[in-house]
Amino acid sequence: MADPQSPGVIRAGCPLAAVAACRGRMEPAASTSPSGLVLLFAELRAELVRFLAARTGSPADAEDLAQELWLRIQGVQPGPIGNGRAYLYRAAQNLVLDQVRERRRREAREAHWHAAAAASADGEVIDSGPDALDAMIERERDVALARAIEGLPEGAGRVFRLHKLEGLSHSDIAARLGISRSGVEKHVAVAMAHLRRAMGTEV
């Protein structure tokens, strides 16, 4: 069920107003007011749509998502928003990611559904529980991911763990290890590419 208005429904993403806090990527500071955000959106609309089109590969989706973004920022409660432009881009980014996540989940479920339907061709017995299967697949992926993290190459793995598991910032790690900040980013990126290869596309 995908209706966020309904009771009892787990929504995959974060409410947009809370999206930055949810993802831990928003530095609060005071400048742009909510109405300022709407004005800024109008000013940046063309570049946001271009970004969304590049991000989704679909100009039509880009228009829909821009509309969605505009609607969502109407509801943003008054409060400090540091960099309005970055906020809008990150919010747009999160809308795309919600869509991608939902699409991949749907594809996985459809594949499962077809498999279950084929298994019930005798018309008597149908599937024994996609929810349980979903949960099992999720857990297997988590275990595979934990193994892949264990198997990371030494340098990249160390930086990756400090950043992702211990929660140190890029600059903290740079200071601690005596390397540049971009060096830290590079290590984390190498680790991510390793993990991606270890996990295949099924993330």
Partner 1 sequence: MNDDIHEMAAVWLQAQARDDMDWQAFTSWLEADPRHREAFDDVALLDERVDGLRDELARDHAANDLDGDVDGVAVHGRGRLWRWGGAAAAAGIILAVGGAWLSKPVVEPVTYAAATGVNRNVAVADGLSATVSGGSRLTVRGAGRLSLQGSAFFDVRHDPSRAVVVDVSGYEIRDVGTRFEVASDGVSVRVAVTQGAVSLRAPGSASPVRVDAGYAATGGADGQVRLVRTDVTAVGGWRSGRFVYDRVPLSLVAADISRFTGEPVRTESTVGGQTFSGVLARGSRDSMVESLRQLAGVRTRREGDAILLGPDPRR
Q: Is 41 in the site for partner 1 (CB under 8 A)?
A: no
Q: Is 60 in the site for partner 1 (CB under 8 A)?
A: no
Continuous H helices in 57-180: 59-74, 84-119, 130-150, 154-160, 170-177
Cβ-count burial 71-102 (b if 16+ within 10 Å, e if not): ebbeebeeeebeebeebbbbbbbbbbebbeee
d(C-alpha 185, C-alpha 83), whole Å = 22
Q: To the nearest whole angstrom, how small is the minimum distance from the Cβ of residue 162 to partner 1?
A: 8
Q: Is 119 in the site for partner 1 (CB under 8 A)?
A: no
Local structure of 178: helix, strand or coil:
coil
Q: Is 133 in the site for partner 1 (CB under 8 A)?
A: yes
Q: Is 61 in the site for partner 1 (CB under 8 A)?
A: no
Rg of the chain in Å (alpha carbons): 21
Q: Is 203 in the site for partner 1 (CB under 8 A)?
A: yes
d(C-alpha 36, C-alpha 43), whole Å = 10
Q: To the nearest whole angstrom, how small is the minimum distance from the Cβ of residue 47 to partner 1?
A: 7
Number of residues that bind partner 1 (CB under 8 A): 81
Q: Is 10 in the site for partner 1 (CB under 8 A)?
A: yes
Q: Is 146 in the site for partner 1 (CB under 8 A)?
A: yes
- Look at the block and give the residue holding tokens 């800024």: 40
Q: Is 194 in the site for partner 1 (CB under 8 A)?
A: yes
Among 35-43, 65-73, 165-173, which window interacts with partner 1 (CB under 8 A)? 165-173
Q: Is 175 in the site for partner 1 (CB under 8 A)?
A: no
Contact 156, 190 (CB under 8 A): yes
Q: To the nearest whole angstrom, how small is the minimum distance from the Cβ of residue 187 to partner 1?
A: 10
